[in-house]
Amino acid sequence: MPGLPGWALEALSILTQLFILAVGLGVLVVIVFYLRDVTQQKDAVRRNYPVFGRFRGLFTTLGEFFRQYFFAMDREELPFNRAERDWVYRASKGKGGTIPFGSTKPLDKTGTAIFVNCPFPLLDDDAAATQPLRIGPHCRHPYDAPSFFNVSGMSYGALSKPAVRALSIGAGQAGIWMNTGEGGLSPMHLEGGGDIVFQIGTAKYGVRDADGHLCDDRLREIAAHKQVRMFELKLSQGAKPGKGGILPASKVNREIAKIRGIPVGQASISPNRHPEIGDVDSLLDMIAHIREVTGKPVGFKAALGAYGWLDELCRAILERGPESAPDFFTLDSGDGGTGASPMALMDNVGLPIRESLPIAVEIIGKHGLRERMRIVASGKLVIPGSVAWALAAGADFIQCGRGFMFSIGCIQALKCHQNTCPTGVTTHKKHLQRGLVVKEKSAMVAQYARTIHEHVELIAHSCGVAEPRQLRRKHVRIVQENGRSIPMDHLDFLPRDELADSHFPDAS
């Protein structure tokens, strides 16, 4: 070009050559993709629309991202909507969970719980501190549990090392218990110095012998830790009732394998139930055995579907004597969370906590065992209204998993089972774990727990009672299909003719 200096002409020539090279490489890539697409036989869209058909998969993947951040309204998403997640994030940062202008929650939706405020609410100065509640009065080492809100079972393996450390330290700071999940007791669980509930899953991880059976010597070793205050026998989980735990092979490293007592690098699939527990009598026998060996309170965890067996359990307890009762019953919701579950179970099996908790409370209560067998509610109880509802419905304690995951940075990316969690919560890849700073996140765990306590107490005081465990069903109204609400204690959760039909179905 006339007028341009030599160096400019040379630069222009180089740029032109680079452009031609880039175009040529682009054309070559398109040809390669075209040939691969038209010859492959697995994807019909790519075979019929080579190259362009690849964008379908890309847009499907990106759609999840755009829905979460741009298109979904605050109350639309599942399993947790933006309003719920944002409340936990604010609470974890000590911002109090306060919002402006007005509620975005549709208060006329069927099933919505509305608390009945008192015209003369309790003065804050007259409020009572929540007292510890004893679990396992017949044990050698009963547990006076200080908090009604605690960390639910999440295994080391399903969660990363820094995630377990942050939860442990935060739980210790907040004075709440932490459930190990079925993956065994790790040093990280003990690091925070707080109370521990050791969960025994169907594979007996951490307390199994070489053949996978329950080992009394290992039970005694676990019970020797003063921090281990209770044992929870897991029968089923709300997100996958009838299916054992699933830990992908990519997550089974040397340390996790040692803690669980399983081979390195092999997928860890638990049995779908305890082989030695097939009825209520064998359940009570197992609970009695663990309690005798450990000297500590023992309960069980299950999701309700059929519930006649719970009536059978209570009758068997009364025949043996109240001291034979499980010290607690952890009731998991059919919409509970997990790291990995078949969609067929997650979407279709198990009653949600909103229905199952009142049923369980009524069955146990009608047999006079409410004071003997404490009820722990679990499943999507992450914000104050849900926690307060569970206490009013009859729960003694609440266990929460995903709320505490949010407090340490979970963004609901739905990558838990792929070992690619972008926040380091559920991955064992070191470069991704780097984002989870234990010192910062543990403080947020403690702050989240304290804020839940504070805001549930706000609800209790508004209803005119001194502390949250004084909430009753009469303090809650439930919105019906016609848009009007009725008192929760007027609802018939357990019709008389249902109980006889809710036993195990005839296997024959």
Look over the chain and give the mean of its residue pLDDT values, rounded to a whole number: 85
> Are 344 and 475 within one domain?
yes
> Are 150 and 63 within one domain?
no
Given 45, 71, 97, which residue is the final one in a domain?
71
Is residue 80 a part of any domain in this protein?
no
**Can you tell me the distance from the alpha carbon of 214 to that of 233, in angstroms, rounded to the nearest whole number?**
11
**Burial of 27: CB neighbours in 10 Å, binned 0-12, 13-18, 19+:** exposed
Is residue 498 a part of any domain in this protein?
no
- Which tens digits make up the pLDDT trace of 136-180? 999 999 999 999 999 999 888 888 899 999 999 999 999 999 999
Predicted confidence at residue 296, as pLDDT, reads 98
> Are 146 and 57 within one domain?
no
Predicted confidence at residue 17, as pLDDT, reads 81
Top pLDDT among 142 and 337 is at 142
- Which tens digits make up the pLDDT trace of 232-287? 999 987 777 777 777 778 778 888 888 888 888 888 778 888 889 999 999 999 99
SS3 of 13-30: the string is HHHHHHHHHHHHHHHHHH
Average pLDDT over residues 79-91: 76
Predicted confidence at residue 496, as pLDDT, reads 63
- Which tens digits make up the pLDDT trace of 263-275? 888 887 788 888 8
Establish how many alpha carbons lie within 13 A of residue 311's alpha carbon, considering only the half-sphere containing its beta carbon: 16
- Which tens digits make up the pLDDT trace of 315-333? 999 999 999 999 999 999 8
> Are 151 and 21 within one domain?
no
Average pLDDT over residues 328-342: 80
Which residues does residue 143 pair with via DSSP β-bridges, in sequence order?
A: 135
Per the CB < 8 A criterion, the answer to whether 434 and 424 are in contact is yes
- Is the confidence at residue 505, as pLDDT, over 50? no
CATH of the domain at 267: 3.20.20.70
Is residue 35 a part of any domain in this protein?
yes
> Are 395 and 258 within one domain?
yes
> Are 39 and 145 within one domain?
no
- Which tens digits make up the pLDDT trace of 356-392? 999 999 999 999 999 999 999 998 898 999 999 999 9
Average pLDDT over residues 436-450: 92
Predicted confidence at residue 81, as pLDDT, reads 67
Name the least confident of 178-187, 390-399, 489-498.
489-498
> Are 188 and 62 within one domain?
no
Given 15, 45, 71, which residue is the final one in a domain?
71
Given 71, 89, 110, which residue is the final one in a domain?
71
Per the CB < 8 A criterion, the answer to whether 233 and 332 are in contact is no
- Is the confidence at residue 350, as pLDDT, over 70? yes
> Are 62 and 149 within one domain?
no
**Can you tell me the distance from the alpha carbon of 137 to that of 374, in angstroms, rounded to the nearest whole number?**
11
pLDDT band (50, 70, 90) for residue 97: low
Is residue 108 a part of any domain in this protein?
no
Domain count, the chain: 2
Q: Which element (helix H / strand E) includes 331?
A: strand 328-332
Is residue 77 a part of any domain in this protein?
no
Is residue 191 a part of any domain in this protein?
yes
Is residue 63 a part of any domain in this protein?
yes
Domain with 63, as residue range(s), is 6-71
Is residue 125 a part of any domain in this protein?
no
> Are 380 and 302 within one domain?
yes
> Are 306 and 396 within one domain?
yes
> Are 38 and 187 within one domain?
no
What are the CA-CA distances from residue 268 to residues 202, 245, 357 (Å)?
Answer: 12, 8, 31
Average pLDDT over residues 443-448: 94
pLDDT band (50, 70, 90) for residue 61: low
